């Protein structure tokens, strides 16, 4: 058996879209069972709804874990860049962190990141430093953002 054969036999990754569709299918199935009085359809529909909800939860947890891992890698890249004076690496790390925070918000928790005013101000300073090429301003913004994150979230 080659790798292509085994690829088709593995379980698909959990997906919020697939889970939502499974939930919807279960709702329809359960409703039909309820309206027609066919208990087996009603029970099967409820089970399908639960399976869909479980898949959504698994997909959200997977997204949160991926976002945490990507965020840590971004923080490491940013710190390396700052310590080595590699502005491109630092900027790349900052962008990785931002992407990870938004990924977690959109795919994992469905809520915007809770950011303090101090952290927003520091992120703006970092962005201005990146845009203007002012390494000192970028570094100060990074340090202030980290400090604000530790103090205020």
pLDDT tens, position by position, 40-54 = 999 999 999 999 999
Q: What angle do CA 108, 17, 25 make, to 5 degrees?
A: 130
pLDDT of the residue at 88:
87
Chain centroid to CA 9:
27
pLDDT of the residue at 69:
94
- Which residues of the chain register pLDDT less than 50? 1-3, 5-6
Residue 122 CB burial class (10 angstroms; 0-12, 13-18, ≥19): buried
């Amino acid at each position: 058996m080659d790798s292509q054969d085994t690829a088709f036999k593995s379980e698909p990754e959990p997906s919020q879209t697939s889970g939502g569709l499974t939930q919807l299918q279960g709702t329809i199935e359960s409703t039909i069972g309820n309206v027609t009085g066919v208990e087996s359809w009603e029970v099967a529909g409820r089970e399908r709804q639960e399976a869909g909800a479980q898949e959504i939860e698994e997909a959200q947890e997977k997204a949160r874990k991926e976002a945490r891992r990507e965020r840590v890698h971004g923080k490491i890249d940013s710190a390396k860049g700052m310590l080595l004076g590699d502005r491109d690496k630092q900027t790349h790390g900052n962008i990785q962190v931002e992407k990870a925070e938004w990924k977690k918000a959109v795919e994992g928790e469905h809520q915007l990141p809770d950011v303090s005013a101090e952290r927003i101000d520091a992120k703006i300073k970092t962005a201005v430093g990146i845009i203007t090429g002012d390494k000192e301003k970028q570094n100060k913004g990074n340090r202030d953002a980290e400090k604000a994150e530790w103090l205020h979230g």
